[in-house]
Structure 1
């Protein structure tokens, strides 16, 4: 998965990557040439007292060092830009893919995991790309070039590399092998911490209302401790790397000096050549260390790449039409024909053989007990999910054949849990229509019975709204969400239990104000309160996913026991209250 992700998203940057390889090659060869020049200065300049040779060769060393510096800076610069561009592209692709998901796929992954995959996971793979450009490319060049240059200085001492290099590689390999499972577990632990933290922040009012701060604190502490313990285990293993590297480097240096001194005494090698050989050995061991360090980064990046590719490879259950219908005749005629819906792996369908028609100028209400499938039924209309049987038609065209933008343009949805975005009242209302004027916004607010409280807010339309609308009450959120749908001026209004947080007086005034505005549109209302839907043109009664009643309020009281039971239970509750 890692190779596949890198290949697909680094293909547009093949030229900068080739330039990185070229600069790294030139810079590495320059660094390998410096010890040889230093050896010549010692053996041919210092030993003979030839000042001109020292100055001349020293000048070459300065020039080679300058080339090395320029190439290294260029390689790091291009590598960093390429890595950042790679991260940007992957994040963008993941974000776009998640936006195509239906509610089913979002629920499968979970919001905390999707956030982690698009931030932390992408960052880990991005770091791999950066380190590959700065370390992985240079490591093999240094290793091969260092061996060649070391053999050029002295073949006898080169036998020490047959011991030190494998020892370092094996030691680091054993450490890294034990860190791989820890990296995999760390990503899961990060998901858990994000999930718990997100739940606590989102549900802070519930936590405080039930005095559950100690419990939530312990829950977060447990998740945090699990992540910390895993990170510490991996960190302790990583902490062994530097001491092991230094131990091998120092022992190898001592060995080179011990045996090299004997060869110098035997006049088999010059002092300058011994110094150069020692430097080459250090460079080779450092290259091995860089390569093994990359092996430590690769497993974590591979785990992250698997999680990223899993999102990118997941197809939405709501598939865009191959040949979408872009123009339809009609004005908000909605029909459901024998619609059924069943979640994958479920033993029974959520909806069974639902059929009804909602025409412009008429209000269709859906009522039923909790879990009857009301919200799922409403989600089928804007294609948040697709039916497993039957068809949903808008103006005579199956919604699965309509261009998505054309479908959504015709629908104004007020969800069961109204969500407001960070910004202002105006920016949230213009989410329905970016070109709406301030006058249109105030008109929508007045219809939604929200004008008074918005006018009292500091700034009016420019009043700030916190993420999720947490700085306004539940009833105010519902009215702002209704106003947002009104600003859109759609042909089909979908109200998913959108009046539940309103008092009966506000509910009645809002519905009365809606009638003239929606007289040319089809209105579908999901409600729990009978008083909200008593005047509807047709009421659909759901029970266990099936229609058990269809008609007006008076007819259903006489013919539908389920509806009569709902009405009686609510009347009893009102009398008791």
Structure 2
């Protein structure tokens, strides 16, 4: 874990190294200051030597100023190093997430990934800054102060050596009981993020069903669970304070008692005792600071483990050693394809699916909810890999292609249409960053989107809110279809992507496809028979199996499921017209 995290310090290694360097210089000066103060008392004040007071005082001021300067520099470089480290961690995680397959993302969940990129990284950032500053300063201060204390009086200095095992046992018990509780806390944070995310994304549904009170209750429940679990963890960690206070005051009382006896016995000067007390404070403060770092490490350790899990996660989908980058054409063939989301052949979502589609053909896919329609088409651009069998595009197994090249040749409009914050033009150019304005207009005309765009106040420069909340469902669908067309793909997949448009607009879109992109293979998943009746082939799905393949006329005469769907829709339209 530490090696994985350390690799992400990257270009901030210099800052990470300068921080402990300046901390060391600051500690050395802090160690010298008590010696100078003892000299002022013994050689200046007690001896009534004015010149010694002035010269030693100047040296004391210089040491204090330089200690302040080195402290400021260590703080500056520490802040740069920790912020840069956090930036690199986020960049590494986010970059790795972009390589994840859908199954990788499902394994973590979206809300958990958000928590890891935010809360977990902040915890690790704070710990890293404390490690390169306080965890360097405190041990150095402890060692140097203890050394100087031994030089002053061995008997008094031994008190600290007896205190260390007591502290070590106490802190070890705190770690043992606190770490598992903090692990639970961050898992509950994932749930809290999920509740907030779902609520904000579905706020219109919440309000339309007047379920605000239910959502507030759900949020309070998770929030209360975080409070209880975090409070439990903090109660365990809180024992650190009393443990340190007890140790510190016990040591000071023993030193005061023994030191007073030594002064009375004339074996120790007043200046030496004062220096000893300063070293006592430095030793105890260093121990206290180390315990604070220790607590922070307890809190951040689960966060670090969660971050490393994302960084080390390897995508289920990888390129072959010598990937093909040229896709010959848009022909598609499924050969005895079985698929399971859990790679368990006892829980297959698709079973023994076989068919061949020639390049340029239009293919309709129809079936009931959960029949496997979306799963079928997601195997073509290799969003998932088959459990067994093979999917071929252009006469070659999709696993032999470079993933980027394959997906660049396949444009897919998913069920959940996603638009990003930005203008309509910026959203459309996701399909082709180099597309000219004329190409944008042409794609929108094909998708029947040009008409409503030109009526908007700013036309193609109209700003789309996050998630496309300021356009209707049908408008969003047409924009995402236009975006897909701009890729000039060899294969175009529409996953129920015209469900929110009227039948007339749907027919115009289908007609435009036939006339303007005849060489593009088109897969159209639809619930309406009218959307696919002109397709070259129609695949009927039922319970993860292909129930029938053929033209509209062939299926009407031979396939019972297709007949029932067609009849129910014709009957429904007839009753609606009456």
**Shorter-chain TM-score category?**
over 0.9
How does 1:258-407 map onto structure 2 within 5 Å?
258-328=257-327, 330-344=328-342, 345=344, 347-407=346-406
How does 1:123-202 map onto structure 2 within 5 Å?
123-168=122-167, 170-171=169-170, 173-202=172-201
How does 1:492-511 map onto structure 2 within 5 Å?
492-511=491-510
Contact 2:10 2:85 in 1 (8 A): no
What corresponds to 1:476 in structure 2? Answer: 475
SS of the aligned residue for 1:366 comes to: strand
The one-character-per-residue Cα deviations of 1:329-356 (angstroms, maximum 9, x if unpaired) are x332222222221222363321122222
Query: In terms of mean alpha carbon deviation, does 135-144 or 157-166 score higher?
Result: 157-166
Contact 1:358 1:524 in 2 (8 A): no
Contact 1:9 1:89 in 2 (8 A): yes
Quote how far apart the aligned CAs of 1:10 are.
Answer: 3.7
Query: In terms of mean alpha carbon deviation, does 245-254 or 97-106 score higher?
Result: 245-254
The one-character-per-residue Cα deviations of 1:411-451 (angstroms, maximum 9, x if unpaired) are 11111111111111111101001112222222222221222
SS of the aligned residue for 1:498 comes to: coil
SS of the aligned residue for 2:400 comes to: coil
Measure, in 1, the Cα distance between the counterparts of 2:156 and 2:405: 77
What corresponds to 2:120 in structure 1? Answer: 121
How does 1:6-85 map onto structure 2 within 5 Å?
6-10=5-9, 13-85=12-84
Measure, in 1, the Cα distance between the counterparts of 2:409 and 2:519: 12
Query: In terms of mean alpha carbon deviation, does 3-12 or 338-347 score higher?
Result: 3-12
What corresponds to 1:514 in structure 2? Answer: 513
Quote how far apart the aligned CAs of 1:176 are.
Answer: 4.9
Query: In terms of mean alpha carbon deviation, does 82-91 or 155-164 score higher?
Result: 155-164
Query: In terms of mean alpha carbon deviation, does 80-89 or 158-167 score higher?
Result: 158-167
The one-character-per-residue Cα deviations of 1:164-208 (angstroms, maximum 9, x if unpaired) are 555555555544544323321211121111000001111112222
Contact 1:392 1:398 in 2 (8 A): yes
Quote how far apart the aligned CAs of 1:410 are.
Answer: 1.3
Measure, in 1, the Cα distance between the counterparts of 2:271 and 2:494: 86
The one-character-per-residue Cα deviations of 1:306-334 (angstroms, maximum 9, x if unpaired) are 21222222222211221111234x33222
The one-character-per-residue Cα deviations of 1:193-224 (angstroms, maximum 9, x if unpaired) are 10000011111122222222111111111011
What corresponds to 2:442 in structure 1? Answer: 443
Quote how far apart the aligned CAs of 1:71 are.
Answer: 2.4
Quote how far apart the aligned CAs of 1:261 are.
Answer: 2.2
Measure, in 2, the Cα distance between the counterparts of 1:451 and 1:13: 49
Contact 1:75 1:133 in 2 (8 A): no
SS of the aligned residue for 2:154 comes to: coil
The alignment's TM-score, normalised by the length of structure 2, stands at: 0.94
Quote how far apart the aligned CAs of 1:72 are.
Answer: 2.2
How does 1:452-471 map onto structure 2 within 5 Å?
452-471=451-470
Contact 1:448 1:510 in 2 (8 A): yes
Measure, in 2, the Cα distance between the counterparts of 1:368 and 1:191: 35
Measure, in 1, the Cα distance between the counterparts of 2:3 and 2:489: 44
SS of the aligned residue for 1:387 comes to: coil
Contact 2:331 2:360 in 1 (8 A): no
Quote how far apart the aligned CAs of 1:250 are.
Answer: 4.2
How does 1:228-247 map onto structure 2 within 5 Å?
228-239=227-238, 241-242=240-241, 244-247=243-246
Measure, in 1, the Cα distance between the counterparts of 2:347 and 2:258: 80
Query: In terms of mean alpha carbon deviation, does 509-518 or 275-284 score higher?
Result: 509-518
SS of the aligned residue for 2:285 comes to: helix
What corresponds to 1:220 in structure 2? Answer: 219
Query: In terms of mean alpha carbon deviation, does 162-171 or 20-29 score higher?
Result: 162-171
Measure, in 2, the Cα distance between the counterparts of 1:244 and 1:180: 18
Measure, in 2, the Cα distance between the counterparts of 1:312 and 1:551: 47
What corresponds to 1:92 in structure 2? Answer: 91
The alignment's TM-score, normalised by the length of structure 1, stands at: 0.95
Following TM superposition, where does structure 1 have runs of at least 4 consecutive aligned residues deviating by more than 6 angstroms?
none
Query: In terms of mean alpha carbon deviation, does 465-474 or 529-538 score higher?
Result: 465-474
Aligned length: 575
Measure, in 1, the Cα distance between the counterparts of 2:399 and 2:323: 8
RMSD over aligned Cα, in angstroms? 2.0
SS of the aligned residue for 1:384 comes to: coil
Quote how far apart the aligned CAs of 1:228 are.
Answer: 1.9
Quote how far apart the aligned CAs of 1:91 are.
Answer: 1.2
Contact 2:188 2:225 in 1 (8 A): yes
Contact 2:373 2:541 in 1 (8 A): yes
Contact 1:169 1:289 in 2 (8 A): no
Contact 2:10 2:88 in 1 (8 A): no
Contact 2:33 2:63 in 1 (8 A): yes
Quote how far apart the aligned CAs of 1:397 are.
Answer: 2.1
SS of the aligned residue for 1:138 comes to: helix
Flag the 1:346–1:208 CA change in 2: closer, same or farther, 3 A: farther
Gaps of 5+ in 1: none
